[in-house]
Amino acid sequence: MPRALLATAAVLAALWAGEAQAARIVVTIDGLKSAKGDLYVALFSRADEFPDGDHSDQHLKVKANVKPVTVTFAVQPGRYALGAYHDENGNGRLDTNFIFYPIEGYALSNGIRAVIARPRFADACFPLRDESKQVTLHIKY
């Protein structure tokens, strides 16, 4: 019987240790010019998926607000990039002009912006170990 108890304790310790390795990314988004529509926030861990929100690891949709909005992602340690946009007209997508440049407000981690070329994951990503990380995204139009 003591062996069974020891084995159970070992399994519980392993599970607890696995949970202890989880991290959180706390994202504050500010700069929205109106409370119309929704705010979409996406988390990416793969370069080939960035910044296409349809292929994000996790994404959240919250009501737009001119006050700062905070969302949290629970993740494992790794490299991540974030993107957010203000879907002011509520059509469920980031609207672009004829050259595919965003015409709705958006932000990417590390403050990068699409200028001539598509934003790169390598420029927007940040390392995350087993701690919590605070990130602020400033929506610009």
pLDDT at site 21: 61
pLDDT of residue 11 exceeding 70, the answer is no
Task: List pLDDT tens digits, range 121-136.
Answer: 999 999 999 899 999 9
Exposure of 88 by Cβ count < 10 A (0-12 exposed, 13-18 middle, 19+ buried)? Answer: buried
Lookup: tokens for 44:
């990416």
pLDDT of residue 4 exceeding 60, the answer is no
pLDDT at site 115: 81
DSSP structure string for 56-116: -SEEEEEE--SS-EEEEEEE-SEEEEEEEEEETT-SSS--B-TTS-B-S-EEEGGG---SS
Low-confidence winner among 47-51, 79-83, 105-109 (lowest mean pLDDT): 47-51
Task: List pLDDT tens digits, range 98-119.
Answer: 988 999 999 999 999 988 888 9
3-state helix, strand, coil in the chain (%, to 5): 25, 40, 40
Lookup: tokens for 90:
């509520």
53/136: higher pLDDT: 136
pLDDT at site 29: 98
Task: List pLDDT tens digits, range 87-97.
Answer: 999 999 999 99
Nearest to 140 by CA among 108, 115, 96, 97: 108
State the DSSP H helix or E strand holding residue 26, giving kind and residue range, or none if neither.
Answer: strand 23-30
pLDDT of residue 8 exceeding 60, the answer is no
For each of the domains in the chain, give its residue range(s) and CATH number, in order of start.
22-138 (2.60.40)
Kindly report the average pLDDT of the chain as a whole number: 88
